Structure 1
């Protein structure tokens, strides 16, 4: 934003820049940038720190009007100024936090600058207040689409950054909730990737077992061939289960009501595996508590990242497994103790 002043004697236009306007504009923009940075890195935003950091950034911008200090506006000077502004405005716990805050500050700045350019080139001919005010000579106030672009880019950039950071955090959290799963029923076995969903509170109303939803491609690996063929064809097993041969040895089936993604009440069939093993992040395999695997005809994951939605209760471990492990450990310790007692009493010759 600047003013042009026409010199009456020659008719030449001379640009005039108002330092107070430059300072206030930079104060506003730096304040918005450090607020957005604090929001993204999840740090408490304190008004006095934001004001102090933005004031430092605005004061640094005023060095453009001091030619002898132009060396401070080099790349190194700008990097140091950004570092000081982040330290003042955004709370931190250590050097790693400072480095992360600086990186986020630059990301916010680049996104906002890109939004300004995009809006500017979207409407290249837009301008405002191109009138004239006569006061001695001719004074014309000029601005361009960039000024309006900055104003519009502030909420747009914050929304884009928050959305991107939120999605990245969601993907990272989801990745930490994915576990390899292996289930066995009679002689049949299947393996898949399960998503541990804290929102899954589904239980069988009769047996009270926790229920895990699994894709049809996973479910079919644990059932006899006729049922597997129905799953492959996408047939509704609830309606087709009565058409199966009477002498077919079917696993015990459970009827489980659940609420679908659209909010409607649905009914599906479920089986209880003999064993369900979950491999944790550290590589340990945990024998899950007794649970049901319920058929879900549609894919549970659009990008096929997982094929089952696990109930949180199954990771508590199976008491039977823990009890057997304790018995084996106790028996091993007893055997060692007996061996030690024998060794400590040698035979007399």
Structure 2
């Protein structure tokens, strides 16, 4: 069998370059291409070492570990211990993720079932089933891109969930517990009192609120009906707002007794706030029930959570 070492080495160099590049992108490192190419070159030499009997010691797990440290050092340098270990571990994660994705895709596409003379026969090809270079060349960039997109998405969701707080709303003896999104883009406030306005998804708490309040939240034009007999009449406000692509709108709002926010090991008690009642779903994936105003997070009554 003829083995073209130059072709194998070049393909491995390209793959190692992409793996190191993905490692740097995920860690948001300021990369230098010449260092990434140096790391890829050192990593690709391992393929050549496998064909040199005197270097068989490099196939030992301890040797592979040291070799991977050299790859991480050459590609990203050494500024401090934690920085270096993060690069090294992420390189392993990316390698296993992309390599596992390729192997998983390969065996997913394999058929272990066939019919011979009318009899269903199953067989296992095992891990010795060769993976063609064409499959690797075509599949590697796809798995690489997919892995980057998924990991970026997970990072974005992590940042998103860092902005989720536990919220308790107390109104006239009624307590509502909700998950609140801290949204710096929410600048809604009452034009008269200048109080910040948080937004609550009423549809999730309709059973806990008076029916008249829920009805007016759906249609604010019913606000004037049965005046003087409506519950919480002294708490009701009408807040003007403007949404993208819509004319001026109005939102029913309530003045609560207290809103308690628990976030980042802190408890923030807010009294000077209005609660806008929206009957539109705020989170399509049901991640939060209300949107908090950023001014609520800098309340004067700030206490450390017990």
Band of TM-score, shorter chain: 0.7 to 0.9
Counterpart of 1:278?
261
Counterpart of 1:257?
241
Counterpart of 2:212?
227
Contact 1:219 1:295 in 2 (8 A): no
Aligned residue pairs, count:
282
Larger RCO: Structure 1 or Structure 2 (Cα < 8 Å, ≥ 6 residues apart)?
2
SS in 1 for 2:95: helix
Contact 1:178 1:195 in 2 (8 A): yes
Q: Structure 1 residue 299 and structure 2 residue 285: aligned?
A: no
Query: 2:52 is matched with which residue: 66, 69, 92?
Result: 66
Counterpart of 1:90?
76
d(CA) in 2 for partners of 1:299, 1:191: 17
Following superposition of structure 1 onto structure 2, how do residues 297-336 of structure 1 map, counting pairs within 5 Å?
Answer: 297-318=279-300
d(CA) in 1 for partners of 2:195, 2:214: 27
Distance of aligned partners of 1:91 and 1:161 in 2 relative to their CA distance in 1, 3 Å threshold: farther
Normalising by structure 1, report the TM-score. 0.69
CA RMSD after TM alignment: 3.2
Following superposition of structure 1 onto structure 2, how do residues 1-349 of structure 1 map, counting pairs within 5 Å?
Answer: 15-91=1-77, 93-117=79-103, 120=106, 146-217=132-203, 225-228=210-213, 230=215, 236-244=218-226, 246-249=228-231, 250=233, 251-259=235-243, 263-264=245-246, 266-283=249-266, 285-288=267-270, 290-318=272-300
d(CA) in 2 for partners of 1:311, 1:226: 26
Normalising by structure 2, report the TM-score. 0.78
How big is the shift at 1:254? 1.6
Counterpart of 1:334?
none
Structure 2 unpaired stretches of 5+ = 111-129
d(CA) in 1 for partners of 2:7, 2:146: 28
Which protein shows a greater Rg? 1
How big is the shift at 1:228? 4.7
d(CA) in 1 for partners of 2:299, 2:155: 28
SS in 1 for 2:92: helix
How big is the shift at 1:92? 5.1
SS in 1 for 2:241: strand
Distance of aligned partners of 1:203 and 1:255 in 2 relative to their CA distance in 1, 3 Å threshold: closer
SS in 1 for 2:143: helix
Q: Deviations over 1:83-138 (max 9, x none)?
A: 210121124543333333233222322333344446656877xxxxxxxxxxxxxx
Distance of aligned partners of 1:147 and 1:214 in 2 relative to their CA distance in 1, 3 Å threshold: same
Higher mean displacement: 306-315 or 152-161: 152-161
Distance of aligned partners of 1:76 and 1:244 in 2 relative to their CA distance in 1, 3 Å threshold: farther
